[in-house]
Amino acid sequence: MSTSFQQQTDGSENKDEMIVQEHEHQHESEHEGERSGVGASVRDMAARLPEQLSAIGRDISRTIERAISAKDDYMLAVKVSPDAQIKLGQLVQAGVFGTRAEAASFLIDEGIKTQSALFEGVEQKLAEIERLRAELRGLVGEKKTENQ
């Protein structure tokens, strides 16, 4: 009995071993496929890298050029009404200005010129406020010396 049992065991072990080897071979093939896919993706990314770096360099260069050419300009974020946004867009669309920011800048400057009397009054009041502050600082300074 033991002999027949051994034969069965030997036969089944061989079958199991073949199945395990076949399964391992399939598993290795799957990993090789995955590895080759990952390798191809990495190669594709590496091939595009010089082009992407060049594009980044161009963008940085343009930004620096704009910053240098706008050395006397100041950026200011301003909320505008929908109507004002439409009007600014129309000025750009008509070719009067290159951007809405340029159109807005022009209109702000023109508004300041038109309201010159208002700004003269504001300047006078600011000068008066500064004079009063200086006067108050003087009073506080006198009190400090008296208390010491």
Q: What is the DSSP letter of 58?
A: H
Which residue from 113, 97, 101, 111 is spatially nearest to 74, judged by alpha carbons?
101
Task: For residue 133, count other CB atoms closer than 10 A to its CB.
Answer: 10
> Residue 87 corresponds to which amino acid?
K
The pLDDT, as a whole number, for residue 23 is 52
pLDDT in tens, 31-84: 566 667 777 788 888 888 888 888 888 888 777 777 666 666 778 889 999 999
pTM confidence score: 0.45
Listing DSSP states for 106-134 in one string gives HHHHHHHHHTHHHHHHHHHHHHHHHHHHH
What is the Cα–Cα distance from 112 to 107, expressed in whole angstroms?
9
